[in-house]
Amino acid sequence: MRPERYSLSANIMTRASLLLAPVMLAGCFNDSPSAKFIDYQERIANVQESDLLPPPELTLVELPSKRELTKEIPRTTLGLVDSYQLRKCQLFGLIAERNSVLGKVQDQFRNFDYQLKLIDGLERCLASNQIELELKTSLQDILSVKYQYLPDYFFNLVYTSDAMRSQLNGHDWLVANKGSAALQVRESLTAFNQVAQFIATSDRATIERPPLLTPYQEQLEKSNVIGRLAFSLEASAHWMRTITNQLNTYDDQIICGKNRDSSRFKYLVNVFNNVFVEEVQPYLSYVDSEYQAIAQETQFVSALLSQSDANVYSLHQRHLEFKETSREHVKYWKGLFERCGRSLSSIRNN
Protein backbone atom coordinates (compact mmCIF):
# COMPACT_ATOMS: atom_id res chain seq x y z
CA MET A 1 0.00 0.00 0.00
CA ARG A 2 1.01 3.62 -0.55
CA PRO A 3 1.60 5.81 2.49
CA GLU A 4 -1.44 7.60 3.90
CA ARG A 5 0.20 11.08 3.84
CA TYR A 6 -0.90 11.75 0.28
CA SER A 7 -3.46 14.33 1.44
CA LEU A 8 -1.69 17.31 3.02
CA SER A 9 -3.29 19.42 5.69
CA ALA A 10 -5.66 22.17 4.59
CA ASN A 11 -3.55 24.88 6.17
CA ILE A 12 -0.53 24.04 3.98
CA MET A 13 -2.68 24.17 0.86
CA THR A 14 -4.19 27.46 1.98
CA ARG A 15 -0.77 29.05 2.51
CA ALA A 16 0.44 27.84 -0.88
CA SER A 17 -2.68 29.21 -2.58
CA LEU A 18 -2.28 32.60 -0.92
CA LEU A 19 1.36 32.86 -1.93
CA LEU A 20 0.49 32.10 -5.53
CA ALA A 21 -2.64 34.25 -5.72
CA PRO A 22 -0.94 37.35 -7.19
CA VAL A 23 0.10 35.48 -10.31
CA MET A 24 -3.17 33.62 -10.91
CA LEU A 25 -4.69 36.37 -12.99
CA ALA A 26 -6.43 34.26 -15.62
CA GLY A 27 -8.53 31.13 -15.36
CA CYS A 28 -9.26 29.13 -12.25
CA PHE A 29 -6.53 27.74 -10.02
CA ASN A 30 -6.77 24.15 -11.27
CA ASP A 31 -6.25 25.27 -14.86
CA SER A 32 -2.89 26.85 -14.07
CA PRO A 33 0.39 25.02 -14.65
CA SER A 34 1.15 25.90 -11.03
CA ALA A 35 -1.28 23.13 -10.06
CA LYS A 36 0.99 20.57 -11.76
CA PHE A 37 4.03 21.73 -9.81
CA ILE A 38 2.13 21.92 -6.52
CA ASP A 39 0.78 18.40 -6.98
CA TYR A 40 4.23 17.11 -7.92
CA GLN A 41 5.91 18.54 -4.84
CA GLU A 42 3.11 17.38 -2.52
CA ARG A 43 3.28 13.81 -3.76
CA ILE A 44 7.05 13.75 -3.30
CA ALA A 45 6.74 15.08 0.25
CA ASN A 46 4.07 12.50 1.04
CA VAL A 47 6.28 9.65 -0.09
CA GLN A 48 9.22 11.10 1.84
CA GLU A 49 6.95 11.59 4.87
CA SER A 50 8.67 14.95 5.20
CA ASP A 51 7.86 18.61 5.62
CA LEU A 52 6.84 20.46 2.48
CA LEU A 53 9.39 23.12 1.55
CA PRO A 54 7.87 26.58 1.02
CA PRO A 55 6.65 27.21 -2.54
CA PRO A 56 8.67 29.68 -4.61
CA GLU A 57 7.73 33.33 -4.59
CA LEU A 58 6.71 33.97 -8.18
CA THR A 59 7.01 37.53 -9.40
CA LEU A 60 5.45 39.22 -12.40
CA VAL A 61 7.68 40.09 -15.34
CA GLU A 62 7.63 43.89 -15.40
CA LEU A 63 9.77 46.38 -17.29
CA PRO A 64 11.13 49.40 -15.41
CA SER A 65 9.08 52.59 -15.80
CA LYS A 66 9.05 54.47 -19.09
CA ARG A 67 10.80 57.39 -17.41
CA GLU A 68 13.70 55.17 -16.35
CA LEU A 69 14.15 53.70 -19.83
CA THR A 70 13.48 56.57 -22.24
CA LYS A 71 16.55 57.76 -24.11
CA GLU A 72 16.72 61.46 -24.94
CA ILE A 73 17.22 62.19 -28.65
CA PRO A 74 18.17 65.64 -30.04
CA ARG A 75 15.88 67.28 -32.58
CA THR A 76 17.07 68.09 -36.10
CA THR A 77 15.46 70.84 -38.22
CA LEU A 78 15.68 72.39 -41.67
CA GLY A 79 14.88 76.02 -42.59
CA LEU A 80 11.72 76.65 -44.63
CA VAL A 81 13.66 77.65 -47.77
CA ASP A 82 15.80 74.53 -47.63
CA SER A 83 12.76 72.41 -46.92
CA TYR A 84 11.03 73.77 -50.03
CA GLN A 85 13.90 72.50 -52.19
CA LEU A 86 13.11 69.02 -50.95
CA ARG A 87 10.05 68.95 -53.23
CA LYS A 88 12.50 68.09 -55.98
CA CYS A 89 13.33 64.78 -54.32
CA GLN A 90 9.88 63.98 -52.89
CA LEU A 91 10.83 64.63 -49.27
CA PHE A 92 8.95 67.87 -48.62
CA GLY A 93 5.55 66.13 -48.24
CA LEU A 94 6.87 63.72 -45.59
CA ILE A 95 8.36 66.54 -43.52
CA ALA A 96 5.24 68.70 -43.90
CA GLU A 97 3.07 65.82 -42.70
CA ARG A 98 5.35 65.29 -39.73
CA ASN A 99 5.09 68.99 -38.82
CA SER A 100 1.30 69.03 -39.02
CA VAL A 101 -0.92 69.04 -35.93
CA LEU A 102 -1.49 65.29 -36.20
CA GLY A 103 2.11 64.57 -37.09
CA LYS A 104 3.38 66.19 -33.94
CA VAL A 105 1.39 63.80 -31.74
CA GLN A 106 2.39 60.56 -33.47
CA ASP A 107 2.75 57.51 -31.27
CA GLN A 108 6.11 55.77 -31.12
CA PHE A 109 5.35 53.25 -33.85
CA ARG A 110 4.45 55.95 -36.37
CA ASN A 111 7.32 58.12 -35.22
CA PHE A 112 9.80 55.28 -35.72
CA ASP A 113 8.40 54.55 -39.18
CA TYR A 114 8.80 58.25 -39.93
CA GLN A 115 12.48 58.02 -39.03
CA LEU A 116 12.93 55.11 -41.47
CA LYS A 117 11.08 57.01 -44.22
CA LEU A 118 13.10 60.14 -43.49
CA ILE A 119 16.38 58.24 -43.81
CA ASP A 120 15.25 56.85 -47.16
CA GLY A 121 14.21 60.35 -48.28
CA LEU A 122 17.48 61.94 -47.18
CA GLU A 123 19.50 59.36 -49.10
CA ARG A 124 17.30 59.91 -52.15
CA CYS A 125 17.88 63.68 -51.98
CA LEU A 126 21.64 63.23 -51.57
CA ALA A 127 21.65 61.15 -54.75
CA SER A 128 19.63 63.78 -56.68
CA ASN A 129 21.35 66.20 -59.06
CA GLN A 130 18.57 68.76 -58.47
CA ILE A 131 19.59 69.58 -54.91
CA GLU A 132 22.14 72.33 -54.26
CA LEU A 133 25.50 71.27 -52.85
CA GLU A 134 25.16 73.48 -49.79
CA LEU A 135 21.83 71.86 -48.90
CA LYS A 136 23.31 68.41 -49.49
CA THR A 137 25.94 69.17 -46.87
CA SER A 138 23.19 69.96 -44.36
CA LEU A 139 21.24 66.86 -45.37
CA GLN A 140 24.31 64.69 -44.92
CA ASP A 141 24.79 66.03 -41.41
CA ILE A 142 21.15 65.31 -40.57
CA LEU A 143 21.39 61.82 -42.06
CA SER A 144 24.47 61.07 -39.95
CA VAL A 145 22.59 62.17 -36.82
CA LYS A 146 19.56 60.05 -37.76
CA TYR A 147 21.72 56.97 -38.23
CA GLN A 148 23.56 57.72 -34.99
CA TYR A 149 20.35 57.85 -32.96
CA LEU A 150 18.34 55.22 -34.82
CA PRO A 151 19.29 52.60 -32.16
CA ASP A 152 17.87 54.94 -29.50
CA TYR A 153 14.64 55.45 -31.46
CA PHE A 154 14.35 51.67 -31.70
CA PHE A 155 15.17 51.21 -28.01
CA ASN A 156 12.44 53.68 -27.06
CA LEU A 157 9.96 51.90 -29.31
CA VAL A 158 10.70 48.46 -27.88
CA TYR A 159 10.87 49.38 -24.21
CA THR A 160 8.59 52.40 -23.76
CA SER A 161 5.75 52.10 -26.31
CA ASP A 162 2.45 50.91 -24.87
CA ALA A 163 2.13 48.11 -27.42
CA MET A 164 5.56 46.63 -26.78
CA ARG A 165 5.27 46.96 -23.02
CA SER A 166 2.00 45.02 -23.28
CA GLN A 167 3.91 42.41 -25.27
CA LEU A 168 6.95 42.15 -23.00
CA ASN A 169 5.38 42.36 -19.53
CA GLY A 170 4.24 38.96 -18.26
CA HIS A 171 1.50 38.28 -15.70
CA ASP A 172 0.43 34.71 -16.44
CA TRP A 173 1.40 31.27 -17.73
CA LEU A 174 1.40 30.00 -21.27
CA VAL A 175 -1.24 27.28 -21.47
CA ALA A 176 -0.36 24.22 -23.53
CA ASN A 177 -3.91 23.17 -24.42
CA LYS A 178 -4.40 26.41 -26.37
CA GLY A 179 -1.77 25.47 -28.94
CA SER A 180 1.28 27.47 -29.98
CA ALA A 181 1.11 31.08 -28.86
CA ALA A 182 4.43 31.87 -30.54
CA LEU A 183 2.95 31.49 -34.02
CA GLN A 184 0.53 34.35 -33.30
CA VAL A 185 3.29 36.96 -33.25
CA ARG A 186 6.12 35.34 -35.17
CA GLU A 187 5.61 37.47 -38.28
CA SER A 188 5.59 40.65 -36.21
CA LEU A 189 8.74 39.67 -34.35
CA THR A 190 10.48 38.85 -37.63
CA ALA A 191 9.82 42.41 -38.80
CA PHE A 192 11.35 43.81 -35.60
CA ASN A 193 14.34 41.54 -36.01
CA GLN A 194 14.88 42.80 -39.57
CA VAL A 195 14.92 46.36 -38.25
CA ALA A 196 17.49 45.41 -35.60
CA GLN A 197 19.68 43.76 -38.24
CA PHE A 198 19.45 46.85 -40.45
CA ILE A 199 20.50 49.11 -37.57
CA ALA A 200 23.40 46.85 -36.60
CA THR A 201 24.79 46.60 -40.14
CA SER A 202 27.59 49.04 -40.91
CA ASP A 203 27.25 48.72 -44.70
CA ARG A 204 23.52 49.37 -45.05
CA ALA A 205 23.71 49.53 -48.83
CA THR A 206 24.16 45.75 -48.85
CA ILE A 207 21.06 44.92 -46.80
CA GLU A 208 17.40 45.06 -47.71
CA ARG A 209 15.44 47.97 -46.27
CA PRO A 210 13.50 46.88 -43.16
CA PRO A 211 9.68 46.86 -43.15
CA LEU A 212 7.62 49.54 -41.46
CA LEU A 213 6.42 48.45 -38.04
CA THR A 214 3.09 50.24 -37.57
CA PRO A 215 1.12 47.44 -39.35
CA TYR A 216 2.17 45.06 -36.54
CA GLN A 217 1.30 47.35 -33.64
CA GLU A 218 -2.22 46.09 -32.93
CA GLN A 219 -1.25 42.42 -33.03
CA LEU A 220 1.66 42.92 -30.64
CA GLU A 221 -0.50 44.89 -28.22
CA LYS A 222 -3.33 42.33 -28.12
CA SER A 223 -1.38 39.05 -28.17
CA ASN A 224 0.81 38.89 -25.08
CA VAL A 225 3.25 36.09 -25.95
CA ILE A 226 6.80 37.14 -25.04
CA GLY A 227 5.74 38.31 -21.58
CA ARG A 228 3.84 35.11 -20.79
CA LEU A 229 6.75 33.08 -22.16
CA ALA A 230 9.19 35.00 -19.95
CA PHE A 231 6.90 34.46 -16.93
CA SER A 232 6.51 30.74 -17.71
CA LEU A 233 10.25 30.21 -18.11
CA GLU A 234 11.04 32.04 -14.88
CA ALA A 235 8.22 30.52 -12.82
CA SER A 236 8.96 26.99 -14.08
CA ALA A 237 12.62 27.43 -13.15
CA HIS A 238 11.66 28.55 -9.63
CA TRP A 239 9.33 25.59 -9.19
CA MET A 240 11.82 23.04 -10.51
CA ARG A 241 14.53 24.41 -8.22
CA THR A 242 12.17 24.14 -5.23
CA ILE A 243 11.09 20.60 -6.08
CA THR A 244 14.69 19.48 -6.65
CA ASN A 245 15.55 20.92 -3.25
CA GLN A 246 12.64 18.93 -1.80
CA LEU A 247 14.04 15.74 -3.29
CA ASN A 248 17.61 16.42 -2.17
CA THR A 249 16.76 17.68 1.31
CA TYR A 250 14.95 14.48 2.27
CA ASP A 251 16.78 12.06 0.00
CA ASP A 252 17.86 10.02 3.04
CA GLN A 253 14.21 9.08 3.55
CA ILE A 254 14.31 7.03 0.34
CA ILE A 255 15.83 3.68 1.31
CA CYS A 256 16.76 0.96 -1.15
CA GLY A 257 19.19 -1.91 -1.46
CA LYS A 258 19.43 -5.59 -0.70
CA ASN A 259 17.39 -6.71 2.31
CA ARG A 260 16.07 -3.15 2.80
CA ASP A 261 12.45 -1.97 2.72
CA SER A 262 12.34 -0.10 -0.60
CA SER A 263 8.64 0.72 -0.49
CA ARG A 264 9.23 4.47 -0.53
CA PHE A 265 11.48 4.18 -3.54
CA LYS A 266 8.77 2.24 -5.39
CA TYR A 267 6.18 4.87 -4.46
CA LEU A 268 8.53 7.63 -5.61
CA VAL A 269 9.03 5.81 -8.93
CA ASN A 270 5.26 5.97 -9.36
CA VAL A 271 5.34 9.72 -8.72
CA PHE A 272 8.15 10.06 -11.26
CA ASN A 273 6.25 8.13 -13.94
CA ASN A 274 2.72 9.38 -13.29
CA VAL A 275 3.36 13.01 -12.41
CA PHE A 276 6.75 14.11 -13.72
CA VAL A 277 6.85 12.11 -16.96
CA GLU A 278 3.13 12.41 -17.73
CA GLU A 279 2.32 15.92 -16.46
CA VAL A 280 5.26 18.15 -15.58
CA GLN A 281 7.79 17.26 -18.25
CA PRO A 282 5.33 17.68 -21.16
CA TYR A 283 4.61 21.21 -19.93
CA LEU A 284 8.32 21.99 -19.63
CA SER A 285 8.79 20.69 -23.17
CA TYR A 286 5.94 22.88 -24.39
CA VAL A 287 7.45 26.01 -22.85
CA ASP A 288 10.85 25.15 -24.31
CA SER A 289 9.34 24.60 -27.77
CA GLU A 290 7.59 27.98 -27.57
CA TYR A 291 10.93 29.62 -26.78
CA GLN A 292 12.66 27.79 -29.64
CA ALA A 293 9.90 28.85 -32.04
CA ILE A 294 10.71 32.55 -31.59
CA ALA A 295 14.26 32.52 -30.18
CA GLN A 296 15.77 33.88 -33.39
CA GLU A 297 12.97 36.41 -33.88
CA THR A 298 13.38 37.87 -30.38
CA GLN A 299 17.06 38.71 -30.71
CA PHE A 300 16.06 42.33 -31.27
CA VAL A 301 15.00 42.54 -27.61
CA SER A 302 18.61 42.59 -26.43
CA ALA A 303 20.61 43.17 -29.62
CA LEU A 304 20.88 46.95 -29.23
CA LEU A 305 21.31 47.26 -25.50
CA SER A 306 24.41 48.98 -24.20
CA GLN A 307 26.35 47.43 -21.34
CA SER A 308 24.52 49.57 -18.79
CA ASP A 309 21.18 48.37 -20.14
CA ALA A 310 22.09 44.68 -20.20
CA ASN A 311 19.66 43.73 -17.43
CA VAL A 312 16.59 45.51 -18.80
CA TYR A 313 15.09 42.36 -20.29
CA SER A 314 16.60 39.01 -21.17
CA LEU A 315 14.45 36.20 -22.50
CA HIS A 316 17.62 34.27 -23.34
CA GLN A 317 18.90 34.40 -19.74
CA ARG A 318 15.55 33.19 -18.43
CA HIS A 319 15.72 30.26 -20.82
CA LEU A 320 19.25 29.37 -19.70
CA GLU A 321 18.08 29.24 -16.07
CA PHE A 322 15.03 27.23 -17.10
CA LYS A 323 17.23 24.66 -18.83
CA GLU A 324 19.69 24.51 -15.94
CA THR A 325 17.01 23.83 -13.32
CA SER A 326 15.52 21.12 -15.55
CA ARG A 327 18.93 19.48 -15.92
CA GLU A 328 19.53 19.59 -12.16
CA HIS A 329 16.16 17.97 -11.59
CA VAL A 330 16.88 15.16 -14.03
CA LYS A 331 20.30 14.76 -12.45
CA TYR A 332 18.66 13.95 -9.09
CA TRP A 333 16.45 11.27 -10.62
CA LYS A 334 19.36 9.70 -12.47
CA GLY A 335 21.37 9.59 -9.26
CA LEU A 336 18.48 8.07 -7.33
CA PHE A 337 17.85 5.38 -9.91
CA GLU A 338 21.55 4.51 -10.06
CA ARG A 339 21.70 4.33 -6.25
CA CYS A 340 18.76 1.96 -6.22
CA GLY A 341 19.93 -0.14 -9.15
CA ARG A 342 17.18 0.82 -11.57
CA SER A 343 17.28 1.94 -15.21
CA LEU A 344 16.02 5.41 -16.06
CA SER A 345 15.08 4.60 -19.66
CA SER A 346 11.73 6.38 -19.65
CA ILE A 347 13.06 9.86 -18.93
CA ARG A 348 12.95 12.45 -21.68
CA ASN A 349 15.65 15.10 -21.40
CA ASN A 350 14.33 18.64 -21.55
| Range scoring the smallest mean pLDDT among 68-77, 105-114, 272-281, 307-316 | 307-316
Tens of pLDDT, residue by residue over 74-128, are 887 766 557 788 899 999 889 888 877 676 678 999 999 999 999 999 999 999 9
Question: How far apart, in whole angstroms, are the C-alpha atoms of residue 132 and residue 128?
Answer: 9
Q: pTM for the complete prediction?
A: 0.84
Tens of pLDDT, residue by residue over 10-46, are 333 333 333 333 333 333 345 589 999 999 999 999 9
What is the total residue count of the chain? 350
Average pLDDT on 183-195 reads 92
* Contact criterion met (CB below 8 Å) for 238 and 173: no
Question: How far apart, in whole angstroms, are the C-alpha atoms of residue 293 and residue 91?
Answer: 40
- Return mean pLDDT, the chain: 85
* Cα torsion through 310, 312, 316, 317, rounded to 10: 80
Question: How far apart, in whole angstroms, are the C-alpha atoms of residue 181 and residue 183?
Answer: 5
Beta-carbon count within 10 A of 129 CB: 6
Rg (CA), the chain: 27
Average pLDDT on 35-63 reads 96
Whole-number Cα distances in Å, 284 to 73, 187, 225, 232, 245: 42, 24, 16, 9, 18
Domain ranges of the chain: 4-62+226-339, 69-168+182-215
